[in-house]
Each structure stands twice: as C-alpha cells, then as structure tokens.
Chains A and B, each alone.
Chain A
Amino acid sequence: MSGFLVASAASLSTSPAELIVMVVDFLLLSIRACSGVLGLRLTSRDSRILTSATVFFVALFIVLVVVRFKSLG
C-alpha cells in the first residue's frame, strides 16, 4: 500500500490531468451505481446524459494514457 502511495504521489506532479479525469470518472460511476440508494430519481434523459458523460470521460482517460505512453515510452 505504501508503495502505491509513494508511486502515485510521485506521478501526481507529472500527470495531474489523468488523475483528475480518473477522479471524475469514479464520481460519475458512483452516482450512476448508487442513484437508487441515494434517492436520486433520474429520468431516462438524466440517465442517458450520465451514461454519455461517463463514456466520454473514460474515453478521455484512455486517450490521455495513450498520449502519455507515446510521449514518454
């Protein structure tokens, strides 16, 4: 666990965009998964927007990773 924390802290300064997008992704996924329990009454339109946003940010994260691989690999 400490290895992960050290590694992620060292990477934070070099790739904040990926971390931020990852956090946003997790937030969206959590909202989507827990909407029922949280009492959020999502309409079908809300659900489609949420799904589209989640897919967009996941794709953005993959693109950022690929760009980082190409530039540093």
Chain B
Amino acid sequence: MVVLTVLSLAMWLLTVHDANFSRMGQLGLVSILGWTYFVGLVLVTMGFANELLRTPLRKTWLLVFVLLLALYIFGTGSAVEPIASLPDSYRHAGLLEFIFQNGYARPHYVADFSWPGAFSLGSVFVAFAGQTNALGFTRWFPFFIELLYLAPLIVIVRSIGVGRRAAWFGIALFYTTDWIEQDYFSPQALGYFYLLVIMAAVFATWRAKPSPLFAGLRKNLHFRMARSRRALQLSRLKERGADPSPGTEPTSLSVFDSWRPRLVSAAKARRPKLVSVFDSWRLKPNPPIFGTQVVIQRRYVHGRVASLFARLEGRDTTKSLNTVQTLGVLGLLVLIMFALAMSHELTPYALILMLAGCLISRHLGRPELLAVAVLLALGWLSLGASDYWLGHLSDIFGGFGQIGSTLTDNVANRIAGSSVHQFAVNIRIYIILGIYLLAGVGVLRRATDSRVLEVVAVAPFFLLVVSSYVGEGLLRVVLYALPFTSLLAASAILPQQSGLIRSWLPDFRIFRYGRSSHTVIWTLVFSIVLASALATTVARGGNDDYESFTKGELDAVNYVYNHVTPGATVGTISPYLPFNQRSVGSVYWVSLYTSGSPTIKEITTGLLQIHAQYVVLSQSQENWGEIVAGFPKGWESRVFLSLATHGFHVVAAWPTASVLQVDPKIAKKG
C-alpha cells in the first residue's frame, strides 16, 4: 500500500507539472491531462478496492486512499489552473471585500447581500489572515472545502446503519460522483458544510428505537388478525378454566402472547388514557366474534396512532448522550442553523426537509430542532431578506408546482452548444442516472433497522415543487442528497445482511461478501469507482475552457479597475471573466449574453447601447462563443473591428485579453 500511495502521488505531481493550461481544448481540463493522471487514478482505485475488501479493515489506509481520490478529482484543477475558475468566485470575493471594508452589507444591491452570513464570516478570516481581500483563498478553496466535508461524512456513515465497508465505499462514491461543482468560493459551499455537520450530529445523537409493535408485524394484516382472533379466543377459554382441544392451539399463540404484553406496556408508556379504554375492551366477557374483530382492529389502529404521536414527539428514539450533553448539542446546532439561515437562501429548506425525514423515520429525538429550523429559515427570509423579495416574490415562488418547467430549465436547456460540450453535459446526466440506478438496487438489496437513508435521500427533491432556483434546483437537490444516495449505491454491492427490515432481493452467493466472491466484488468496486472518477473528471472540468481564466485576463480586469471612473459602465460580451472582485457598487459590469447566438452586429449594438466606458475582450469569452453560442473561430476579432469603427481603441493588451476604451469625444456625442 505504501508503494501504491507513493506511486499515485508521484503520478499526480507529474500530471500537474506536465499539464499546459494554455493548450486546453473544448473538452476542458481532461484535454490537458497526460497519461500519468489516468495511471495514477487506476493505482489509487486499486489501492482503495484492496483496502476495502481486506480483513481486517484498515481505516487509516482507507482514509489515505479517499484523500488521494479527493486530490485527483478536486485538487488537479486548482493545481493546473493559474487562478481560481468560475466568475462567481470573484463576485463573492468582491462582496466579501465590501463587508470587510465597510462593516455592513450594502442594501438594495444584490440578492446575495440579503444573506450576508457567509461573507461576514469570510471577512473575519480575511482580517485574521492579515489580508485585504479573499482572492488568495479562492484558488484552492474547492479542494479545502471538500476535505472539510470528510469529517461529517465519516460521522454520518458510521451512525446511519450501513456496514463498515459500505460506509467507506459510500464516501468514495460521494467524491467520485460530485461533479456538480458547487464547492467553489461561495456561500452554498459553506452552507453545505453546515448541513452535513447538522445531519452528522443528528445521526450520531439519536437512533431509532426497535419498535415492539412492529417487530413481529411483518406479514399480511388479515392473516395476523385471524391468528390473533383465534389466540384471543383460546386465551379466554383458558382463563375460564376450560381445556382447549388438543392440537387446536395455534402455533401463533406464543407469538400473540409475546407481543400483546409489549403492546400493552408500549401503549401505557405513551397514552395513559388510552390504556384504560384498552383495558376495558380487553376485559369485556365473551365478546362476539365480530366484536372481537372490531376490538383487535381498534387496538391495532390505536396502537398505530399512539406510535405515530410518539414518533412525532421524538419518543421513539434512543440517544447516545445524557440530557445535559444533548442540550449542549442542541444549543450548538441552533447556532449553526442560525448561521446557515443567514448565509444561504436554499440550504436551510433542504435541512428542514431532511430533519422532517429524520423525525418520521425515528432518528430525531427532539422535534424542537425542526421547529427552530423552520423559524430561523422563514424568520430570516421574512425579516432579514425583505430587501430581496419585496416586489419580487414571484422570483422565489413563481415556479410553484411547475415541476415540468423546472426539469426543462435544469436539464433540457443545458443540453446545448457544440457536440463536445453536449458530450460533457451528457456525461453529467449519465453519472446521475448511474448513481441513482445503483441506489435503487441498494434499496432492494440491503437489510436494515430503519429506512432513514431512503427518506433523507428523497426528502430534498420536494424543493423542486416550489422553485427551479434559476435553472439550478435539480443540481442543488442532487448534491444535498448525494451522501445518502452514495451510501445506497454502495449498499448495492456491499449490502448489510441483518436488520428488522429484510432485503427485497434474494441473496446470491456470488454477490455475497465472502472468500468465494472476493474477486467479483473487488472487480465491481474497482470498476464503479474508476468509471465514476473518470466520468467526474470529464464532467467537472468540461466547462473549464471558458470558465477558467488566465493571469492576463485578471490583469486586464485590474487595469480597468485602476483606470475607470467611479459610476462608469464596463461592458463584456459574456460573464466569463474574473471581474466584480473589487469596487462593488461603484463600477458597473454589464455582460450582454449568457446564452443564445447573437450576431456580431447585435453584440456591437448592445455594447454601444450600454454606453460602456471600457470593453474587455478575452480568450475565455471567445471560447464561450465557440463552444456554447456556436460562433465561428476568430469571431471576437470581428467584434473588435466592429467596435473600432465606433470609436473604441485598445488601451492595454495581454496574450489572452485586451481592454478597449471608447474615445471620450465620441462617447459624449453618443
């Protein structure tokens, strides 16, 4: 394992050393990764599969290989690209800089300032680090935050009731299928960390109490009722001293007697009033057969109702801490929820749905936590973010109930652009389909004491009923459910064998973990992890040709900031530029197009209409035009020529960017 570790690390370092960012093609990051990347990934996957199926399990080595997987998938982009990718990283750095310099969030500016918690926290860290802005943190932030996710993930997988091997396999699948790239420098990345921490604390603190009411009630209800009716008649005969006929004692009598006292004691613990009614029914002499059936039905219904109330009040759980410790955990979780409610607009509602799922599946002993989550999320939206939604509530709830249009916004509208770009988009869809297919098999194969994993994996999808979230709702929801979906997918290969709820599929020996099936399961684990890691490498870096930037482009943007007059407008064709990281509110950047295929004339007219003092043309915008908008090669030079006829001239140039300024005399005439 030491050899595999050292070799794979060496391969990664060679990959980073040899990768030439300037030669990136339409397929993005993977187009500049050499054979060393793929060999290294194979070595890491081999090491992980070996350790996963080893007896005894060596957690340290499993952790090492999971970290190496994270390094390959999330660290390669950060190491290869000269500066942080994604324009929103810079925009968030700019918002943070505003709070750092002014001490408050600017009102009536952008929606993000209505949820300033993450930016406020970031400004604290910037001050602590002795910096004046957060640009130094943006490049490696994705790798850093993904590593931060590992700790709560380990707590979740240990506490949620999957086997140890499935737990580690699930963690590996989480990292190898996380192409969604919401881990850039953003409030949602921090919000996701808060979400994982809260869920980890909930799962670690509370477990489902084995229910005596349902431990034996797995078969058909009518059969159970008939059996219970016969057993009740025989027990009454015994009470009166009459001998039942030999051979007429049902084998179920012991079953009935075994759970009837538990039913009584369970009902007594929960509903004292109910027990007296229950007792009065039970002691009625010689009830008719029909009456007996009604009594049994009523007992069953009341038992279920009592159980439901007990579940909703959190009394159907056991906790691993004492009362004072539990209160301490609750207090900390309330603080984290407060921070989350102030930091991101969507994650608190995903948390509410997942906590409700935990409560229903008997993994939340304190429903107060759910109530606090609702109060904080709605309270902040209503009171703290009113600046955002006053007059724009349709932006949040306009898509209520329109699941079809939500799916169209999130899926169909993204399959656009060149064939290479569409290939990367299709890979993303296949990854999601693949993981959910495996998760479905996992649901059928695993035995368990509680279906909390399934409930929590499905719960976030109810968010799609409310809003498409600007065409990103499905991505966010898949991300929220990803840890749990990964565990279910892991259970398809390494399912738990024991539990009150049996598996629904027969257990074939060839797929059962053991000496005889070692090779088959090793092959499956290796294939799935490697395939998903390769697919995520393609999918995750698929847009990097226009979403990652050069130092020249950053220098061009800084040139504009250093020379532009406050209040002026700066124009770009598309938003794929590292801008908005300074002077928030004093310089207005206007990007004309994020989609569509405008003509050169329309682009020129648009830039003239916004009365831009400067226009920035760049390599990343040109790549966007070729890959997404379908422009021919060299289209940006035609835009430049067109602008030149309208008074624009180059004031600064780099190999990958140029800054155009309009002639002041022509600007005045315009």
Which residues does A use to contact B, with CB under 8 Å? 1-4, 6-8, 11, 14-15, 18-19, 22, 25-26, 29, 32-34, 36-37, 44, 51, 54, 58, 61-62, 65, 68-69, 72-73
Contact = CB atoms under 8 A, between A and B. Distances in A.
B286 interface: no
B104 A2 contact: yes
B375 A37 contact: no
A18 B383 contact: yes
A36 B324 CA distance: 9
Interface stretch (B46-54, B65-73, B158-166, B365-373): B365-373
Interface stretch (B244-252, B388-396, B421-429, B464-472): B388-396
A3 B383 contact: no
A51 B397 CA distance: 30
Interface in B368-411: 368, 371-372, 374-375, 378-387, 389-394, 397
A8 B390 contact: no
Given A4-B342, A33-B330, A58-B371, A18 B379 contact: yes
Contacts of B130: none
B375 A25 contact: yes
Contact of A73 (B323, B380, B394): B394
Contacts of B116: 3-4
Nearest to B124: A1
A2 B103 contact: yes
Contacts of B371: 25, 29, 54, 58
B439 interface: no
A23 to B, nearest CB: 10
B313 interface: yes
Given A7-B383, A69-B389, A37 B378 contact: no
Interface of B: 99, 103-105, 113-114, 116-117, 120, 272, 313, 323-324, 327, 330, 342, 366, 368, 371-372, 374-375, 378-387, 389-394, 397
Given A4-B342, A15-B382, A73-B392, A62 B387 contact: no
A8 B382 contact: no
Given A15-B382, A61-B378, A37 B120 contact: no
A26 B369 CA distance: 11
Contact of B382 (A4, A29, A58, A69): A69
Given A18-B383, A33-B368, 19 more contacts: A3-B104, A3-B116, A4-B116, A4-B384, A25-B375, A36-B323, A37-B324, A37-B327, A51-B313, A58-B374, A58-B375, A61-B379, A62-B374, A62-B378, A65-B378, A69-B382, A69-B397, A72-B390, A73-B394
B377 to A, nearest CB: 10
Contacts of A36: 323
26 contacts: A2-B103, A2-B104, A2-B120, A3-B99, A4-B116, A7-B114, A8-B384, A18-B379, A22-B375, A32-B368, A33-B330, A33-B368, A34-B327, A44-B272, A51-B313, A54-B368, A54-B371, A61-B379, A65-B379, A65-B381, A68-B382, A69-B393, A72-B386, A72-B391, A73-B392, A73-B393
A43 B323 CA distance: 18
A30 to B, nearest CB: 8
A22 B372 CA distance: 10
Given A3-B120, A72-B390, A33 B327 contact: yes
A1 to B, nearest CB: 6
B117 A11 contact: no
B319 to A, nearest CB: 12
A1 B99 CA distance: 11
Contact of A3 (B113, B327, B390): B113
A44 B306 CA distance: 14
Given A1-B120, A4-B117, A37-B323, A61 B384 contact: no
A53 to B, nearest CB: 12
Residue from the set A1, A8, A33 with the largest chain B CB neighbour count within 10 Å? A33
A4 to B, nearest CB: 6
B392 A26 contact: no
Contacts of A18: 379, 382-383
Contact of A29 (B117, B372, B381): B372
A18 B23 CA distance: 57
Contacts of B379: 18, 22, 61, 65
Contacts of B99: 3
B380 to A, nearest CB: 8
Contacts of B105: 3
Nearest to B366: A33
Nearest to B272: A44
Nearest to A68: B382
A8 B272 contact: no
B361 to A, nearest CB: 20
Contacts of B389: 69, 73
A11 B383 contact: yes
Nearest to B372: A29
A6 B105 CA distance: 9
A15 B120 CA distance: 25
Nearest to B99: A3
B366 to A, nearest CB: 6
Given A69-B393, A73-B391, A73-B394, A8 B383 contact: yes
Contacts of B393: 69, 72-73
A65 B392 CA distance: 15
B372 A73 contact: no
Contacts of B374: 58, 62
B358 to A, nearest CB: 16
A6 B107 CA distance: 10
